[in-house]
Amino acid sequence: MALPKKVKELIPYYSYSVHFSDEDEAYVVSVAELAGCMTHGDSAAEALEMAHEAVEGHLEVLISQKQEIPEPISKIKASGDFLVRSNPELHQRLIRKSHEEGYKSLNKFVVDKLEELVEK
C-alpha cells in the first residue's frame, strides 16, 4: 500500500535516535513518536536510511489498522506556556526552594530547573 502524500511527507520530521549497540554490533535507530519502530545498520547513515523505510512500513500498518498517525514532535507548535498542577505541599516546597536559591520568581526557578533536566 502506498502512503498518502501528506503522510509520506512527515517521515523526515519524526524524532530519530541513533546509538551503537554492542549487543547487536550495529547502529540502532528508534523513533520516539512510533512505539516499537526500530531498525539497524552497519553505520549510522545506513541505520538512518533504513529507519525511513521502517517508518514508512510502520505508518502503512497504522493506516491499514485505521489507527491515528502520530504527529512528529518537531511539527508541534510550542507557545512557551503550559500549566502544571501539583499538590499544595510540593508547591510550597518549590516556593521555599526557589527563595533559598535566590530566585524572586517561582516561574524562573522552575524554567531553569527544567532546562537543566533536559540538557543532561
Tens digit of each residue's pLDDT (9 = 90 or more) over 37-73 = 999 999 999 999 999 999 999 999 999 999 999 999 9
Would you say domain 5-74 falls under CATH 3.30.980.10? no
In angstroms, rounded to a whole number, what is the distance separating the alpha carbons of residues 79 and 14? 20
Which of 8, 68, 84, 63 shows the shortest CA–CA distance to 33? 68
pTM of the predicted protein model: 0.72
With cut-offs at 50, 70 and 90, classify the pLDDT of residue 109.
very high
Which of 6, 4, 64, 58 shows the shortest CA–CA distance to 32? 58
Q: To the nearest whole number, what is the mean pLDDT of the chain?
A: 95
